[in-house]
Amino acid sequence: MDLTSTARIRVLVVDDETLMRAGIRLMIDGVQGIEVVGEAADGIDAVAAVRDLDPDVVLMDIRMPRMNGIEATRELTRKGARARVVVLTAFDTDDFLLDALRGGAVSFLLKDSAPQRVVQAVTEAAAGHPQVSATALATLVELAERGRDSVASRTETFSSRPVSPPAMVTVREWEVGQFVAQGLTNADIAATLHLSATTVKTHLASLFAKLHVTNRVQLAIYVLEHQQRQG
């Protein structure tokens, strides 16, 4: 999405609680170019609303009737929807979060987040910048897969142990992927590996295609889980 001073960020709010939807609308509608264009009470309605309204960002609850937020996110990814999903949840250690990120969500927030944090997540998602740190990703992987030690020890292990790349990935591409999992930007990766920004983008595009991921969050999860399997 090309964000300019006059661009509107069109948002769909998805939550099974009417008061929560109303509160989110009041919180973000009209702030920093954000426009709430619709609401949905479950995943089935959300998928239909995305088809009809073509929003830029979907604020997606997890636990809903008929179709939950994870299933809806997967369906939107399967259908090739351009909307970027920001997950909203009441549980920061909910295993569902990892499934949502695998399914195509680009970010997640807690429902008690400050209004400015929600606004930031929406604007960053619209610009293609996930709001999930490498530390949070490591925590989610540990909670869902192994329940290992603290994030600090997990990060130390990640940085110190060499890991062979998947068979279809080159060593250079894997280096780029590992830096993405550590939270580095394209500019940081380019400076670290002495590459041009264009070359880093080319490696990322290749990784997305080879690993069947659609964004940096999914790529980071893949890298972390691949390391765990080799650990």
Does residue 92 have a pLDDT over 80? Answer: no
Reduced to 3 states (helix: H, G, I; strand: E, B; else coil), residue 148 is coil
% of the chain surpassing 70 pLDDT: 78
Q: Are residues 176 and 216 in the same domain?
A: yes
Q: Are residues 119 and 180 in the same domain?
A: no
Q: Are residues 151 and 105 in the same domain?
A: no
Domain limits at 41?
A: 9-126
Edge-first strand listing for the sheet containing 57-61: 34-40, 9-14, 57-61, 84-89, 107-110
Q: How confident is the model at residue 200 (pLDDT cuts 50, 70, 90)?
A: very high
Tell which of 126, 153, 183 closes a domain.
126
Q: Whose structure tokens read 């980071």? A: 220
Amino acid 135 reads T
Tell which of 106, 126, 146 closes a domain.
126
Q: Are residues 39 and 17 in the same domain?
A: yes
Q: Are residues 112 and 149 in the same domain?
A: no
Tell which of 77, 98, 126 closes a domain.
126
Q: Hey, which of 81-85, 94-98, 124-128, 132-136 has the most confident mean pLDDT?
A: 81-85
Q: Which residues, at least 6 apart from 152, have a Cβ–Cβ distance to it below 8 Å?
A: none
Does residue 148 have a pLDDT over 90? Answer: no
Q: Are residues 17 and 100 in the same domain?
A: yes
- The answer to whether residue 1 sits within a structural domain is no
- The answer to whether residue 138 sits within a structural domain is yes
Q: Domain of 226: which CATH number?
A: 3.40.50.2300
**Tens digit of each residue's pLDDT (9 = 90 or more) over 60-69:** 999 899 999 9
Q: How many domains does the chain have?
A: 2
Q: Are residues 84 and 121 in the same domain?
A: yes
Q: Which residues, at least 6 apart from 33, have a Cβ–Cβ distance to it below 8 Å?
A: 3, 6, 7, 8, 9, 123
Mean pLDDT of the chain: 82
CA angle 69, 210, 132 (to 5 degrees): 40
Q: Which residue has the higher pLDDT, 57 or 117?
A: 57
d(CA 140, CA 147): 9
Residue 5 has a pLDDT of: 47
Q: How confident is the model at residue 151 (pLDDT cuts 50, 70, 90)?
A: very low
Residue 218 has a pLDDT of: 79
Mean pLDDT of 158-176: 78
Q: Which residue has the higher pLDDT, 182 or 45?
A: 45
Q: Are residues 138 and 117 in the same domain?
A: no
Q: How confident is the model at residue 131 (pLDDT cuts 50, 70, 90)?
A: low
Beta bridge partners of 34: 9
